Every structure is written in C-alpha cells, then in structure tokens.
A and B are shown apart, each in its own frame.
Chain A
C-alpha cells in the first residue's frame, strides 16, 4: 500500500495533471463503446422463442421481430419457384440446451418433434432461395414476425443438421 501511495505522489508531481487528461480520454472511449453496445443491442436484439412460447404469447408478439427455432416437417415443405415462396411447418423443440441434452441430444429431440402429432406446430412462410439444408428433421432457426393469420413470416432462415456428419451410427454407447 505504501508503494502505491508513493507512486501516486511521484506521478502527480511529474505529470502535473498530465494523468488526468489520459483518464478523461480513456473514460470517453469506454463511454463511447458502452453507448455503441447499448444502443446497438436495443436496436437489434431479438427474442429467441420456442414454438410453445410463441403460441402462448401469440397476442402480444404479433408484428414484433422474434427468432424462432423448430424442427422442420419434411412433408409440409412446398416451394413455388415462380414467386420464390417457401412454405413449411415446424414442430416445437425445447430451446434450452440442457433440456435438449437431457432428452437425448439434438438429433433425438428433432426426431421426436416431427413424429409427435400433439406438439405445437407453426406454419412458416419465407421468400427467397430454398436453402440447401432444408429437409425433414432439420432444425430451422428463423427470424421474422408472427402475422395476425398465425403464420410466421421469416426474413431470415438458418438451418442446421447436427447429426449428419458427426454421428452416423444408429446406436451409441461409449466403450
């Protein structure tokens, strides 16, 4: 502690207030970065919801940009190349990673989701090229708005097929 005090006193003498302008300058930069982060977060944050959560709060979220994850049901995929309109239905999958792991991993969760007719489902419409990875049991992550007709209009569509290249083996047990 005494070292510290000694140090401060010498710098104050030598710097003759020189240190203050650096601290002020540094604080300005930090403030600018914080400002940029806060405003950008506010401007572009999207709620990440599951199909169940969106269904629950259907009324309040209409017309608001949200992000939805769901399992693609292959039979429902319809693509009209003339208008580039892609329509499909996704089934609810849990959003929480631990929950997914507890239910046997993403592959199993997706498989269960598309084969369970009682799950909440959501119709999706997306305009654009049909993504390469869109197929049965893929996980779709969509950004867009829920319309008043109950259809989700996606502006952005991201797909993930986690199982394909990592675990091609039917049954697994660690040896």
Chain B
C-alpha cells in the first residue's frame, strides 16, 4: 500500500514537472504571467510530492517491509533505527529519490524567494530545475524503482514487479541482506547528504546562467543573484569531501584518507570547476571580464555534478569498472550530452553579447593571477579526467586497456597544487588592474622574510626531503601573508575607529565577509596542506605477528599486545578486539583497541583501527589476523602518520571560512559601500 503511494507520488511528480516545463515555456514566450505563475505553483507542488515518496521509502525501511526489494537489499532486522533511515541513500534507487527530493526543495526555495525581483529569469530557472528533476524522477520510475516488490511465481522463481503478476504470491524474505557494513558508520548519516546537497545546490547557479543566456541579460546580474547559492553549494560539497576523507580514515582501515578512486575523483571534479568559478566570478563582478569563461565553468560544473551523481552512487566500494554495472549508464550520458549541447549552443548564440569591454593589461594584476589560478584548477581537472578516461582511450587506440593509479595523480597534480598554494599567497596582495613586481614586493617582503625563518627552523629540525621543504615553506608563506593581511586591516581599522584590536578584527571580518571569509578558507587550506605533506611524505609503517606480552616498535613508539577477546554483539556482529598498550620513548601513553567486526548476515568483516591522535602525529594500529583457538598470537599492521590531525583541523577552518563568506549580511546596501571604501583603503595602503 505504502509502496503504491510512494510510486504514485513519483509518477505525479513527473507529470507535474512536465506540466511546469510546458507552462513556464509558454508563459515566458508569450509573456503571459498567469502561465508563469502556474509553472511556479507546479514547482512548489513537486516538493510535497517527492516528500511523500521519500517518506514512503523511509516508512518501508523502518517497518522492515522485506517484500519491497529495495528494503530487503539495504536493511536487515539487526540494524539500528538510524541506519534504517539512512538506508534511504544506501543504494542507487533510494539515493536518486533523495537527490530529487533535494532538487525539489531547492527549486521551491528559489521560486519562493524574490519572485518579483527576478521575474524575467524565473521561468527559465523553473524550466532548468524541472528538467533536471524530471530526469531524475524518470530514472526512478523507469529504471531504478525503489518500490518494486518481490513475487514468487508458479514456477518457483522470484521476480521483481510493481504489480502482482498473475498466479504469483507475495515473496517476503525473513531478513534483509543489510546495508554494506562499510556504510554502517555514523559518518554515513552525514557524508552522502552533504555531497548531494553540494551537487544539487550547484544546479541553481547553472539554472540562472542558462536563464541569463536565454533572456539575453548577460550582465553580472545572474552572478550576483546566485553568489550565495554558489557558496552554499561549494560549502556542502567541500564538507562532503572532507567528511568522506575522515570516514575513509576511520573506517576503511588502510591508513589513508584519499585514494584517487574514480568515485572520489567524480566528486572532486565539480569541486574543482566550482572553485575556479567562485574565483573567476569575482573578476566579472569587479572588472566585467571573463564572462564566457564563467558560463563555461558553470556549465561544466553542472555536467560534472550529473556525472558525479551517477558515479558516486552513495559510497558503494568501486574500482575501475564502477560504471558498467547499472542500466542507467547510457541514459545518464545521453542526458549529459543533450544538456551540454543545448547549453553550449545558447552560449554561442550570446557569444558577442558576452564580450568584455575592458581587457587585462598587467600580468601581475589580481585578475591575471586569478586567471592563472583558474588555469591551474582546470589543469588539475584535466589530469583527473584524463586519469578516469585513459583506460577507455588506450583501449580504443591500442586495443589494450592501460590504467593509471594514484602515483599518476600524485605526480601530475603535485606541482599544480603547489602552484595554487603559491598563488594563494601572492594573489590577495595584488591590486586590480595594474600591479607590478615592485608594488607586490613591497606588500609581501615582510611575510616572505618570516617564511624563510620558518624554512630554516624546519631545516634545523632535520627535514631534508625537498618536496616537504618546499611544501612547508609555501604553507608558511601563505599563512603569514594571510595573517599579515588580517593584522594590517585590523590596525587600520583601529586607527580609524579607536576600537581595540580584537573588536577591530571582528568588525573588519564582519564588514567584508567574502574577503575575510576567503582568507580564513585559505588558512584552512594551508593547515590541510601541512597535514597532507605529513602523511604523504612521512608516513611509516610496519607489521608483525606477536604473542601476548610481546612488542612491536615503530619509530619512537613501542606497542605491547596485552590481550584479545572475541565476542558476539546484539546487532549481529562477531567482534575480535585486541588490547594494546602504547609507549612512546619508554613512557606509557595509553591503550588502543584495534578490532575486527564480522557481520554474520553479509558475511563480511570490517577492520576498525585503534588510533592515538595528537597534533604531532597519529599512531594507527590495525588488527589484521589472530589465532582463533589459543588467541595467543595476532598480526598487526601499524602506521605512523605525522601531522595528519592538521588536515582535519584545516578542514574545520575551511568550513568555518566558507560559513563566514556565505553568512547573510544585515544591510547589503550599507555594507557594499563600506566594503568598497575599505578595499579602496587597503589597495592604497
């Protein structure tokens, strides 16, 4: 019954979306406002409809209705309540419904806000969002139906169908096969939704870009309207990526956080174009340039979001062949191709309208450095894309499948990331329009000297790896430049207003949130870079099999294997848990409990590390194997990950900075004036 309700709601959503697309198109073409208003109502109606569908799935999941195939494939009796709810995005069909639900929510939010102000854009925004929504809903209806039920036919086989086939009886499994154990982690509640929120929110700026192209209002209005949307989309996407890394580090048990897996890359690619977009729209706002480029970036971001949704499919572990398994592959590619062609032809049609009136003159001006930043981001994108499609290309041209692994990505992107880091230090100091080596040098010689001091300190502390030295120096340079900017701004404000320094700093950031939020984000990136350099270049590992009471050493650390216990839990796991005492330089620092959970219903073990985490390093133990009978000997793999905690701290700062930048300003008009005068002041200083 509930399954029928949920399915019916999906079908009605599709019909309503189709109506909305038609009504908006007719209304916009003939300037009949009643039709546009009707299309708006259709958009608003999609949200409650999809909500009904999503709630139906959740109801079926929490009531263990195993006749529904999706429920049987992602839940089981022993799963706790919260995991049953999150199983909504535990498999492909459910995660597509979740995607549509977010899309409907965002589309409604757009049409509810500022309808009067953006009236000429909105019919086209409605069309773009409803086409996207309609596409995802049809995927659910025609290919990935989460409401299919299981039926036992007269021949004894089991078939999946929405309606009862003649002569069959309901087939109700006693228990479901359960959510993939790797997904049974509190991170699962938050990581996929964040990624999806980021993906879906990027559809909105794209929709406004298309609306601007169609209506010919190709000034920067669409960018101003969607500025905050873009930041929010970017915030969620960044959060999703960071949480994904943390989840991998905590649960996947390979001592890493990022593996250049195609699925990770698929989520990373829209982030790259989105980040480039965030930077280059500033050039359009300030200087009226790069309008074509911004259009291309947002179109690419949209296509990569669709591609990413298709590839990530809610965290199912994948490999080189992730995409061949689903029937919806060709449909996705057709949709991407079609939207890409339509977007590009619209862009070509408006190409001349988008020509800039001014042009860049100085190679060291801020706009030129931003352009360079964009090129580097696109370079990383091309590397990622090349890595993903290289097996296909090589097969076409040589008949031989050749793949590239993490070393390829690390090698090819390393210098580009280093270049970006350097730009992060230089670009904020460069002035718009004209900037010379002399003015730049004057602005940054102090932080530069200070960063050399840091370099010497790092050298003295014994680091000799040239890549690490370069990385640490760049990090120090960017951090110092950024902090120096805060310091200068706060001092100037104190001189003007007589406030004390902390208050001046607070007001400074508050009055010019985008600029100082951006600086905070840059600081976050620097902290993350320090963590990444630490774990990538200085990770050490060892492994060994020891009996109770014996020890393994790694660097300054020594661990003693104290005991091992094996027991069953109520939620269907068999847990083997070791107790290890850790000493550092002969001093006892604590106990760690690496364990191995074996899930009976899915017959899959899962390795959960014991980690001692400090600002200096992480000491990370995996329980690899043990003798079942005597439980005397066990095998451990041990990692020493220096500085990795800075990666997570950096992630936190990064998100904080994005929040600062995206936080609504109280009085936009007033702030714009003060922002202009303060940026003028700093440019002069």
Contact = CB atoms under 8 A, between A and B. Distances in A.
Contacts, number: 179
Interface of B: 69, 72-74, 91-92, 148, 150-151, 157-163, 165, 177, 179-180, 253, 316-321, 324-325, 352, 355, 359-361, 363, 368, 371-372, 375-376, 379, 382-383, 386, 390-391, 394, 400-405, 407-409, 411-413, 415-416, 543, 545, 602-607, 622, 624-627, 633-635, 637
A174 interface: yes
Nearest to A4: B352
A171 B158 contact: yes
Contacts of A41: 386, 390, 404, 408
Contacts of A49: 401
B91 A165 contact: yes
A97 B625 CA distance: 35
Interface string A27-70: 00110110011011101111111000000000000000001000
Contacts of A82: 545, 633, 635
Contacts of B316: 165-166
Tell which of A45, A67, A143, A165 has the most Cβ of chain B within 10 Å.
Answer: A165
Contacts of B360: 18, 22
Interface residues of A, number: 63
11 contacts: A18-B359, A18-B360, A25-B363, A29-B379, A106-B321, A129-B622, A129-B625, A164-B177, A166-B325, A175-B159, A175-B161
Contacts of B382: 33, 37
Given A40-B404, A129-B624, 19 more contacts: A18-B359, A40-B407, A41-B404, A45-B390, A48-B391, A48-B403, A81-B635, A100-B324, A133-B604, A158-B319, A160-B318, A160-B319, A161-B604, A167-B73, A169-B158, A169-B160, A175-B151, A175-B163, A175-B165
Contacts of A160: 317-319, 321
Contacts of B543: 84, 128-129
Contact of A79 (B318, B368, B383, B625): B625
B180 to A, nearest CB: 5
B359 A46 contact: no
A143 B319 CA distance: 13
Contacts of A15: 359, 361
A160 B317 CA distance: 7
Contact of A106 (B325, B355, B604): B325
Interface string A138-156: 0001010000000000001
A37 B157 contact: no
Given A45-B408, A129-B624, A36 B361 contact: no
B158 A170 contact: yes
What are the 6 closest A-B residue pairs judged by CB atoms, nearest first?
A175-B161, A97-B324, A48-B401, A40-B412, A33-B379, A129-B624
B546 to A, nearest CB: 10
B625 A130 contact: yes
Contacts of A79: 625
Contact of A11 (B165, B359, B604): B359
